[in-house]
Chain A
């Protein structure tokens, strides 16, 4: 099983700041096999990024993804109040697993 480790567990930032979230895989995966999701309290997860760097439909361009191999990054360019949420990475290189999540909270 491919294990995804996300860091940090909690990230405290202010609106307008830049957020950088990390996802590390226990073995190398293709970029096509990495996705990111956003989840707000009481809601289902929402697909943000697929193929490591492609934005899903309707996702603002302040969200960007990058990385390859075992190290992947989700960057939020300039935080809006609605961006404070939990973010998960997910791999599909070997069936499917999710990271444990990064809680992006308002400082």
Chain B
């Protein structure tokens, strides 16, 4: 059974940084494409970014609002996905989900972790 468990959310000041983690199990992690998707009451679901699996080069892509501020990485030895978030803004406040990612859709989701950017 696929399990994705996010952690690292919390309250952070505008301009601050936070790193989210996602512990994965139940599938071959190092070949898997993974994404972060966030959800806000106002803007609904928003794709944040993706990292491809090792065999596909492990490259990353990001949505326009986070490009240059957020970085996705993975530690295949620990079956863990990361989201480093820098220069945080109030509009980054959301629940952040870790997902498995085929080329086309998001098959499995974690329970989410809440990030609040506020002074």
Chain A residues near B (Cβ < 8 Å): 1, 32-33, 35, 37, 44-47, 50-51, 56, 88, 90, 92, 95-101
Q: Kindly report which residue of chain A lies nearest to residue B97, judged by CB atoms.
A: A44
Q: Is the CB of B107 within 8 A of A56?
A: yes
Chain B residues near A (Cβ < 8 Å): 35, 44-47, 50, 61, 63-64, 97, 102-112
Q: Is the CB of A88 within 8 A of B45?
A: yes
Ranked 5 nearest A-B pairs via Cβ: A44-B109, A35-B105, A96-B47, A98-B45, A92-B104
Q: Is the CB of B104 within 8 A of A33?
A: yes
Q: Is the CB of B105 within 8 A of A44?
A: no
Q: Kindly report which residue of chain B lies nearest to residue A47, judged by CB atoms.
A: B107
**A to B contact number (C-beta, < 8 Å):** 51
Q: Is the CB of B47 within 8 A of A50?
A: no
The secondary-structure label for the interface of chain B is: strand
Q: Is the CB of B63 within 8 A of A95?
A: yes
Q: Is the CB of A88 within 8 A of B44?
A: yes
| A–B pairs, 24, beta carbons within 8 Å | A1-B64, A35-B105, A35-B106, A37-B106, A44-B97, A44-B109, A44-B111, A44-B112, A45-B97, A45-B106, A45-B109, A46-B109, A47-B105, A50-B102, A56-B107, A88-B44, A88-B45, A90-B105, A90-B106, A92-B105, A96-B47, A96-B50, A97-B47, A100-B44
A33 to B109, CA, bound (A): 19
Neighbouring A residues of B105 by C-beta, 8 Å: 35, 47, 50, 90, 92
Q: Is the CB of A32 within 8 A of B109?
A: no
Least CB distance from B92 to A in Å reads 17
Q: Kindly report which residue of chain B lies nearest to residue A98, judged by CB atoms.
A: B45
Q: Kindly report which residue of chain A lies nearest to residue B111, judged by CB atoms.
A: A44
Neighbouring B residues of A98 by C-beta, 8 Å: 44-47
Q: Kindly report which residue of chain B lies nearest to residue A6, judged by CB atoms.
A: B44
